Homo-oligomer: A and B are copies of this chain.
Amino acid sequence: MAISIRSSFAFTTQAPTDALMQFAVADIPEQHLLSCRTDLTDADSCTRIPAQEDIGERVWARADGRFEVRHEAEVEIRRQIAALDQLEQLRPSEMPAAPVKYLFDSRYCPADKFQSFVEDQFGRTSGGARVEAIRSWVADKFTYTPGSSDASTTALDSFVERRGICRDYAHMVVTLARASVIPARFVACYAPDVTPPDFHAVAEVFLKDPGSDAGGTWQLVDATGMGTAEDIVKIGVGRDAADVSFLTTFGMVELCEKTVEVSRS
């Protein structure tokens, strides 16, 4: 399936301010870039660096005054899609080095605190079936509520308040998967059915795949129900939202515009 993306945002600074941005469709095998174009204020002075796990790239800029970003891409999704509930969990001792860091607590995902809960709530399941049970539980218990969370909301807060937006849903799935000894990471992405249209975020879990050289594969999980493995377009990945914000600034800025349009084409 081909997906068309147009996104833009702009911010203003009162003084020269460093900004790190990650908004572009990642050029990786599972999603084939048919076309891609990015326009940046003062593009000459921007620096592009590979993002985490070499998925996508980041742009460093030193913004002074108004800074604008416009990005257009058309992409064809080519990822292999597995039946999640058929996948097994890797025994820890089988786990390769790369995904291990995604077992650990991160800023928004204090998984250590949820061991009793996952055992009690999901104890009869494991692997992809456990992940599916987690996704279903979050989808059922949470209410999608724009404005109910902010940049300091953790999965612990969301678990109590039972509401949030895509990043909170993703943090909750990541947290409960890690508490289940399943490596889990946060994926910044685009998807066509996100309502209202915006940057999106989902979780991704690492499960056993006998056919893979890496011993396992990453599987997308969207507890909001707005994206699927067929139509999610990855921007980047990280431990949690702290790692893959579309805009991280080192100083005060005012975000004055943000539009995201995603459609099937």
Docked-complex contact B157 and A113, CB < 8 angstroms: yes
Contacts of A163 in B (CB 8 A): 116
| A61 touching B93 in the complex, CB below 8 Å, given contacts A159-B160, A239-B239 | yes
Interface residues of A in 197-218 (CB under 8 A from B): none
Given A106-B239, A107-B105, A120-B141, A92:B160 Cβ within 8 A = no
Asked if residues B114 and A160 are in contact (CB atoms below 8 Å), the reply is: yes
**A112 in complex: contacting residue of B141, B151, B159, CB < 8 Å:** B151
Out of B18, B110, B114, B143, which one reaches A92, CB within 8 Å? B18
State the copy count for this chain: 4
Q: How far is the CA of A119 from the CA of B165 in the complex (A)?
A: 20
A101 interfacial by beta-carbon distance below 8 Å: yes
Main secondary structure of the interface of A (DSSP, over half): mixed
Assess whether A117 is interfacial by the CB under 8 Å rule. Answer: yes
Whether A95 is near chain B, meaning CB under 8 Å from some CB there, is yes
CB within 8 Å of B: which A35-94 residues: 45-47, 49-52, 58, 60-62, 91-94
